[in-house]
Structure 1
């Protein structure tokens, strides 16, 4: 008797898959064959990874500037194709039923949708939060161990999607290099711009010309910003910002010199994580401006803020960390429509096979690249 794809996808399945396991800073990634889940629970999916882009937080973890539980599988900007489903209950954020063969991206977090934080609109702060690329795997994980959440990161052949994960099916036509970062950088920018409010005719200042800042510049332009100024410490990144809709670029070392000519801004987006940039942004915020802080995801020096100035200038100061499910959908739609309007594909400067992941980690250019990508199916060079 013929079985439906959903039914056949729940069949018992027992084989291993390759993963690059992180054991701590200064230690080599260990290529391990780990046992795939033999069965999937309702609401789960088994996804063959086609691409994983390396986020700045991954490099911070590898370099020891950010602490993660070990052992773990890093990587949370992930793109893949569904190979198995626990049942036929899984739908994406458009309400479309997920099927075997769908090309998908998914949220960096899995949430319960029932706790206080989830119900208040902060599922990324769920009391039972699980994060892709940031979760420990069992110490005894290996070919003979089948317990715990093992395949939780992108530096592997497969990823195990657990209940509470929000997915979006994406067109097969959009390039891997364009869509892969959507589940972290692009969705985070969408959250920041949602928080900032209506950008029509706004003067926007962006600190940081990494992927967050470049995406913010382009997305702000697509939403009708009247002018976009980008500030960074790197002249080469500022040259790149001009290709991502920046009307004016300011080298940080020249900030004080150029300050008199900069004017004021309606929206300030701090994407660099710099305390100095935060203070600078407050100083040039116009009456009623919104300041959105995104980049400070690790400890920074304190910032001097004068409450009277916030009050009298009617400033709004917001922090954004990760995003809501709707932001992921907004991000996918943005890249689907504008992914080739601006040269997003060029921001992935190097692509490595999974078997060469150690080479990718040790490669010095990765420290200055906007993104590099790992593709498990890519042949070793």
Structure 2
């Protein structure tokens, strides 16, 4: 059955399972390919493999543009090229490979960008976002994507800027009826990352004070979740005043325009000594250090943004005396099959 044509023959349908599609095109699709760092993505025709053991083929219905994708375009984070980006994805399962039991063709799903193995120490301890092995079902000579004879990579084993994604089924989360796939796609990354940073990583307590550096997609979800869990004061920090206005719609009680003086001092002035929790949602070592400096004694600073891997975040030696905590948050410390349905 073709879930794009709904069984109605369509000569221009790109759905792989459609009976109207010619045999030689049965595994062809379009994708936005990164061929060179710093250059625009190129729309190209690729061949996608059929699902193997443990894999699912998903027709992409919605794909968010996350700032993390820009890191790979700019070369801040490196991957072998050519590469199909896109990791904030929702769609409809077209087909599944042998051994897949958690989804069937026709299911509406979020395509998670971590595919937990379920067996390693981190998975067994309830931290699948930190899976030590990741579900990798193909060898280097078995790419999911090709352009002619050239293998093409898929970011996070998703490659969502395409008609289809062939991915390990362990990363799929079903979307309830009535929830739009455009909304579900955002839950695949920015919403879960922001929600989990507050609810799972930091475990923000009711009545506490919070600062959020960066009022982009992830930062706004941090702000909104902080409001939901009962934070008394939520301070948004950004260099763009329009973002600060939007942050107040999401629940910020105060705003700090970082272009007007020392942002750390402004937060201290507003709170009389610093906040209980500070979140860095940009990905710079300078703002990560600012988050640390914004928290009061005994406070917690959480780095959510993708700080470049070669950078070092320095903290004062007196960290022992102040009992401050600096910690990272990857994918919101989420248990995907619990947190994502809860969010939806």
TM-score by length of 1: 0.71
* 1:153 CA drift (Å): 0.5
Matched residues in 2 for 1:136 and 1:218: separation?
Answer: 44
Q: 1:180 aligns with which of 179, 185, 191?
A: 185
* Equivalent in the alignment of 2:299: 289
Matched residues in 2 for 1:37 and 1:140: separation?
Answer: 6
* 1:325 CA drift (Å): 5.0
Contact 2:276 2:300 in 1 (8 A): yes
Matched residues in 1 for 2:145 and 2:195: separation?
Answer: 39
* Equivalent in the alignment of 2:96: 85
* Equivalent in the alignment of 2:49: 37
* 1:124 CA drift (Å): 4.1
Matched residues in 1 for 2:167 and 2:63: separation?
Answer: 15
* Equivalent in the alignment of 2:79: 68
Matched residues in 2 for 1:333 and 1:225: separation?
Answer: 20
Matched residues in 1 for 2:144 and 2:188: separation?
Answer: 28
Matched residues in 1 for 2:39 and 2:257: separation?
Answer: 36
* Equivalent in the alignment of 2:220: 214
What CA RMSD, in Å, does the superposition of the two structures yield over aligned residues? 3.3
Matched residues in 1 for 2:49 and 2:144: separation?
Answer: 16
Residue 200, structure 1, aligned to residue 200, structure 2 = no
* 1:244 CA drift (Å): 0.7
Instruction: Identify if the C-alpha distance between structure 1 residues 226 and 300 changes in structure 2 by more than 3 Å, giving closer, same or farther.
Output: farther
* Equivalent in the alignment of 1:359: none
Q: 1:100 aligns with which of 100, 105, 111?
A: 105
* 1:280 CA drift (Å): 3.0
Contact 2:77 2:308 in 1 (8 A): yes
* Equivalent in the alignment of 2:3: none
State the aligned residue count: 312
Q: 1:57 aligns with which of 58, 62, 68?
A: 68
Note the residue ranges of structure 1 that are not aligned, 5 or more in a row: 1-8, 92-97, 337-381
Equivalence map 1:310-321=2 (5 Å): 310-321=319-330
TM-score by length of 2: 0.78
* 1:158 CA drift (Å): 0.7
* 1:115 CA drift (Å): 3.9
Residue 273 of structure 1 aligns to a residue in which SS?
coil
